[in-house]
Amino acid sequence: MRALVKTSAGPGLELIDVPEPVPGPDEVKIRVLRAGLCGTDLHIQSWDDWAAEMLRPPLIVGHEFYGEIVEIGDAVPTDDRYGLRVGQRVSVEGHVVCGTCRNCRAGRRHMCVGTSNLGVNRDGAFADYVVVPHTNVWVQPDLIDPDLGAIFDPLGNAVHTALSFPLAGEDVLITGAGPIGIMATAIARHVGPRHVVVTDVSDARLALAQECGADRVVNVTRERIAAAQSELGMVEGFDVALEMSGSPSAVAELIENCNHGAKVALLGLPSDPFEIDGAKVITHMLTLKGIYGREMYDTWYKMTFMLQTSEVLRDRIRSVITDRFPAERWEDAFAAARSGEGGKVIMDWS
């Protein structure tokens, strides 16, 4: 089968033929139909310090995907209510948990200390077929098309972040209009805040955020958040902030424009440590909450149910996909993702 492989330590990837995987007793084999590109994949391609520390080549990369079950292990449940069957269309949770640590046993699997990541610590989904534990499979309803199903992993990040705090009737700031920030904009608007303001350095991405429901966008290379806040008549600052950029300057400006008692969800990963105005966090009684991945599997239920109930939301989330390429043009797909000007990039493996 075809697979995009990190064949050895160093920059680059190779599309090569490899043997098809065989599912174990508790696993399923999935034919990949669509796969989404993530920043993690770009780190792996360029072989930065993070990739060099995390990966042990050779390894098939990729973790965001949608496909069809083609084979089921002997120990996989197949009952009518919750079981899996050949032919089902599915997305997959990319974090494979240990099941035995304290957090796993307490039902907090998204906080597992022994997580293995698809496409990072085990063979991933940029291939014709992939094998995953049956507990990681999420069966999709018919109204979720392959493109939409391929981005459930990053959509889950957006939903986990956006729903960390109540949004209805609140003034919401989103710093960073990458694909996840744009999806968080659509989720926030769906919930019903008063105002949603989104910041970034790319006019193209800010335009996508406006299409997804932002009341005001701010290109921070030209203006400040305070100007948008004043224009919208917000005297006291933002009630909820979603930090998606990982930029130290974005975090500093976010804190500066928060209301007393504001709630801040932090998803963006910084490349280096940075300072936070601790005095303001304390005296303004701000709540800072770190977010990683998706709550397993509460987030999956929430995003599926929200999409099932709203065609507008489905269209807005789907609009985040701006580039589509056949798998053979993976280099063009990576270039589009690395440009930082578009939204989500999808590869077709069907």
Q: Which residues are catalytic?
A: 40, 43
* Separation of alpha carbons 235 and 116, rounded Å: 46
- What CA–CA distance (Å, rounded) separates 285 from 212? 31
Structure tokens belonging to residue 279? 């005095």
- The amino acid sitting at 41 is D
Q: Which amino acid is at 113?
A: V
Packing angle, helices 203-211 and 179-191, rounded to 10: 30
Cα 297 to Cα 160: distance, rounded to the nearest angstrom: 11
Instruction: With CA atoms as reference, report the closest residue to 246 among 270, 277, 265, 264.
Output: 270
Which residue is it, tokens 């009518």?
A: 80
Query: Can you read off the two tokens belonging to residue 95?
Result: 């974090």
Task: Pick the closest to residue 197 from 221, 227, 168 (CA basis).
Answer: 227
Alpha helix segments (H runs only) across the chain: 39-46, 49-54, 102-105, 146-150, 152-162, 179-191, 203-211, 225-231, 248-256, 278-283, 298-309, 311-319, 330-338
Pure H helices in 28-99: 39-46, 49-54
